[in-house]
Amino acid sequence: MEQERHTEIVAGNRDVIVINRRSFFGTLVAIGSAGMGAFLAIPVLRYVLYPLYAKAAGTQWSDVGDMSEFTADKAPVRKTITFAQRDGWREVVSAQSVYVTRNAAGQLEVLSSICPHLGCSVSWQKAQNDFLCPCHGSVFEPDGKYVSGPAPRGMDPLPIRTKNGKLQVRFEYFRSNVPNQEKLS
Ligand code: FES
């Protein structure tokens, strides 16, 4: 055992610390193993934690219908669209209703049917020529402008474009019950 002594440190007259060769190499192997384990764990940790730092990807463009369906003299038309959203590892396919209408200048608009008050589905009333939310009675003009009721703003317009003769929309969600449109990711 005396031969294995590598170092002796004498502190004062009493304390003696002895590090023998076997424990020195044992410590080196332990440190090396821990470092290698941590190195190999990095990709696994990144994969496991990915949903925590990844932002939900926005929706893609969805077909609403042929442009020929939406003539200038028509009342708002209700359409159901489908779209995919990526949230962490999952891809969620959703369906939502929208209204195709025209603004005061005669330009096409697509409005979300989600009431900006607390999220009920708004209905078109042909006889009254307005939109009504059945939950708390908010009323909106044919172009989505606020008329009355507890909703803090008008119906939410959505981004639109035309492609190959089709009207397309990118569905978005907005914060409920706030006066200005705030997009949710
Ligand atoms: S949810 Fe539409 S008025 Fe309340």
Q: How far apart are CA 53 and CA 98, in angstroms?
A: 31
Check pLDDT > 80 for residue 35. Answer: no
- CB of 151 closer than 6 A to ligand 1? yes
Q: With a 6 A CB cut-off, is 149 part of the ligand 1 pocket?
A: yes
**Residue 45: pLDDT band by 50, 70, 90 thresholds?**
low
Structure confidence by residue, pLDDT tens digits, 90-121: 788 899 999 999 998 999 999 999 999 999 99
pLDDT at 131 over 80: yes
Eight-state DSSP code of residue 1: -
What letter would DSSP give residue 72? T
* CA 34, 36, 37, 43 torsion-angle sign: positive
* pLDDT cut 90: percent of the chain above it: 57
Neighbours of 47 (CB within 10 A): 10
Scan for tokens 């192997």, then name that residue: 29
* Residue to mutate, 133, 148, 175, 178, ligand 1, most ligand atoms under 8 Å from C-beta: 133
Residue 167 has pLDDT above 60, yes or no: yes
pLDDT band at residue 16 using 50, 70 and 90 as cut-offs: low
The mean predicted confidence, pLDDT, of the chain is 83
- Whole-angstrom distance, CA of residue 62 vs CA of residue 142: 23
Q: Whose CA is nearest to atom 3 of ligand 1?
A: 136
Q: Output the pLDDT for position 11.
A: 47
Nearest CA to ligand 1 atom 4: 136
Give the residue whose CA is nearest to atom 1 of ligand 1: 118
The HSE-up count of residue 148 (CA atoms within 13 Å, CB side) is: 4
Q: Among 152, 151, 150, 130, which Cα is nearest to 141's?
A: 130
Q: Which residue has the higher pLDDT, 11 or 164?
A: 164
Taking the C-alpha atoms of residue 71 and residue 5, their distance in angstroms, rounded to an integer, is 95
How many angstroms separate the alpha carbon of residue 181 from the centre of ligand 1? Answer: 16
User: The dihedral of CA 47, 51, 54, 58: what is its sign?
Assistant: positive
Amino acid at 120: C
For residue 17, pLDDT over 60 is answered with: no
| Residue 1, pLDDT above cutoff 50 | no
Residue 83 has pLDDT above 80, yes or no: yes
The dihedrals phi and psi of 169, each to the nearest 5 degrees, come to -135, 150
Does position 170 have pLDDT exceeding 70, yes or no?
A: yes
Q: Which residues contact 98 (CB under 8 A, 6 or more apart)?
A: 64, 78, 79, 80, 81, 110, 111, 112, 113, 158, 169, 171
Does ligand 1 come within 6 angstroms of the Cβ of 135? yes
- Report the residue among 113, 117, 155 best suited for mutation to probe ligand 1: largest number of ligand atoms under 8 A from its CB: 117
Which atom of ligand 1 lies closest to the CA of 176? 1
179 C-alpha to ligand 1 centroid (Å): 14
Rg (alpha carbons) of the chain, rounded to whole number: 32
Question: Which pLDDT score is estimated for 65?
Answer: 96
